[in-house]
Structure 1
Amino acid sequence: MRALGRAVHAELLRVFSLRTWWILAVVLGLYVAVTAGGFAFFVSSSELNGPGPLPAEVAAPLVYSSTTSVALVVPLLFGALLATSEYRWRTLTPTLLAQPRRVVVLAGRLIVALVLGALYGVIGAVVSVAAGAPVLAAFGTDPLLAEPEVLGLLARTVLACALWSLLGLGLGALLTSQIAAIVIVLVFTQFVEPILRIVAGAAEWSAEAARYLPGAATDSLVGAGILASIGQLDPTVPGVIEPLTRLEGGLVLAVLSLALVALAAATTLRRDVD
């Protein structure tokens, strides 16, 4: 346990000595603020919604799920950079000289990925409420801030971000190439999965498989999201799939993350270091 504590401390020092973590935090905060405020204006404005604004029980969760709807790329990217930075800057050798047991080094990074991912989740949750709730209230839609369901959604947002950071760590540890990891993270989150989720809804078998994609599992865990909220209003819209339960969604994310980490531990991390 003492060795693990030193490994976690060393990783935290390495993370906080660089600007990457807070730059990503600022990007996430700005992204969520604009998205939550925009969602709140759109769903509560009768001029934009035909017969009237969306009901509060649909509008408020959609607004507060802005972090997991659009900004999960940030904790995912952080986890990938956490794993690949030492390959990029060739500092892995000194790290392993200080702590030869690679499993301890990996465990330390796993803990740091979860902690910083949760921190990004807290930032996203706070910003989504700060930017979205006043707009909802200004247009006469109850922000539902005292509702247990909303508080639970915000807590699950923190958990989802922690798991996505772990997912990024597993991906980065498996690839080791920082450029490849960044490209895959951006392409998958911004293009590939959204398209797959929309296309998969066209057939029953593909819709069933799409429920286990990371983004779909996240919507299930959190209990809200763009496609999930649309499905509440009209289940026949293309791209809307039957969600997993919250527990199932969380387990899917955890299994995907740990599977990547385990695969990296069994392959990449066993290689000799130059």
Structure 2
Amino acid sequence: MSFFAAVHSEITKLLSTRLWWVLALIMVGYVALCAGGLGAIFGGVGSSNNGPPIPEAQLPQLIYSFATSVGYVFPVLLGALAVTSEFRFQSLTPTFLATPRRGIVLGAKVLTLLLAGAVFGVIALIASIGAGASVLSAFGIDPLLGDAETWAFVGRSVLAMALWSAIGVGLGALVPSQIAAIVIVLAFTQFVEPLLRAAASFTDWSAQLGQFLPGSASDALVGASVYTMLSPSSVSLDWWQGGLVLAGIAAVATVIGYFTSWRRDVS
């Protein structure tokens, strides 16, 4: 089987399950609630006398960035579960019989989930921009939808979500247990990394290390985040450096996963 035939097979497998649209629905609700809620808070406390807590020119991207700053966990889960479910239900066995070259299968899955992550990014941005722009407009704040930088931000956000999905594939290949992968994703994204990022901001040397954490790299790539608002003085990578860090994490996890669990007997 050729690589593109393997990609077609992986797309078919992904779309034949409820996993992708269930995660997408939850993501849309979560992101829209966060973006709309924060937009209402900042729009409501702002006035012509004291102005909003942050400059109006920065406010729209901050609101829209909830698509990635809180929504990134969903493409990670999608990528991880797309791999671990194959180990759990042993669907890899017929796949490897049809395509004995396992590297092609893993590469096809990475490309498929990159595309799926990009789609998740578009969906998340529709939710955050739709809710956020509506609320900001209601409070008389320009949502900057005609600004070129806003759309550059949108493109970087889609790229970030695609790379997060690839990281999920690498994690799934590295940790084939579905329960373990879910626990790792939720524990790291919701508890461990936020604590590490907060602790890293205390000293200059730790801040230099903290900018290479995956969440920090993602925020640098996107260019806006509620986390950077809370720590405006923290150091940050350039956007392209953040993208390279995320891509490097995905590549390292995938390669290690390939040489460990991916090459084992799954029958």
Please give the range of the TM-score, normalised by the shorter of the 2 chains. over 0.9
TM (norm. structure 1) is 0.93
Q: How far apart are residue 73 of structure 1 and its match?
A: 0.6
Q: Does 2:49 match 1:56?
A: no
Counting only pairs closer than 5 Å after superposition, residues 51-130 of structure 1 correspond to structure 2 as: 51-53=50-52, 54-130=54-130
Q: Partner of 2:43 in structure 1? A: 44
Counting only pairs closer than 5 Å after superposition, residues 255-270 of structure 1 correspond to structure 2 as: 255-270=248-263
Unpaired segments ≥5 residues, structure 1? 236-240
Q: Does 2:264 match 1:271?
A: yes
Q: Please give the per-residue CA displacement for 1:80-138, whole angstroms capped at 9, x wherever unaligned.
A: 01111111111111111111110110111011110100000000111111101011011
Alpha-carbon distance in structure 2 between the residues aligned to 1:46 and 1:140:
12
Q: Partner of 2:147 in structure 1? A: 147
Q: How far apart are residue 230 of structure 1 and its match?
A: 3.6
Q: Does 2:178 match 1:185?
A: no
Q: How far apart are residue 231 of structure 1 and its match?
A: 4.1
Q: CA RMSD in A?
A: 1.6
Aligned length: 266
Q: Please give the per-residue CA displacement for 1:190-233, whole angstroms capped at 9, x wherever unaligned.
A: 1110111011111111111110001100110000001223444x
Q: Does 2:245 match 1:246?
A: no
Identity of aligned residues (%): 47
Alpha-carbon distance in structure 2 between the residues aligned to 1:139 and 1:147:
19
Q: Please give the per-residue CA displacement for 1:128-181, whole angstroms capped at 9, x wherever unaligned.
A: 111010110111111111111111111111100000000000001011101000
Q: How far apart are residue 51 of structure 1 and its match?
A: 3.0
Alpha-carbon distance in structure 1 between the residues aligned to 2:42 and 2:159:
26
Alpha-carbon distance in structure 2 between the residues aligned to 1:247 and 1:105:
28
Give structure 1 regions of 4+ aligned residues with deviation exceeding 2 angstroms.
229-232
CA contact (8 A) 1:39 1:62 kept: no
Q: How far apart are residue 47 of structure 1 and its match?
A: 6.1
CA contact (8 A) 2:90 2:266 kept: no
SS in 2 for 1:142: coil
Letter in 1 for 2:57: E
Alpha-carbon distance in structure 2 between the residues aligned to 1:93 and 1:69:
37
Q: How far apart are residue 31 of structure 1 and its match?
A: 0.7
Q: Please give the per-residue CA displacement for 1:6-63, whole angstroms capped at 9, x wherever unaligned.
A: 1111111111111010000101111111011011111222269x93313222211111
Q: Does 2:121 match 1:131?
A: no
Q: Partner of 2:171 in structure 1? A: 171
Alpha-carbon distance in structure 2 between the residues aligned to 1:160 and 1:98:
32
Letter in 1 for 2:98: A
Alpha-carbon distance in structure 2 between the residues aligned to 1:47 and 1:171:
43
Q: Partner of 1:25 in structure 2? A: 24
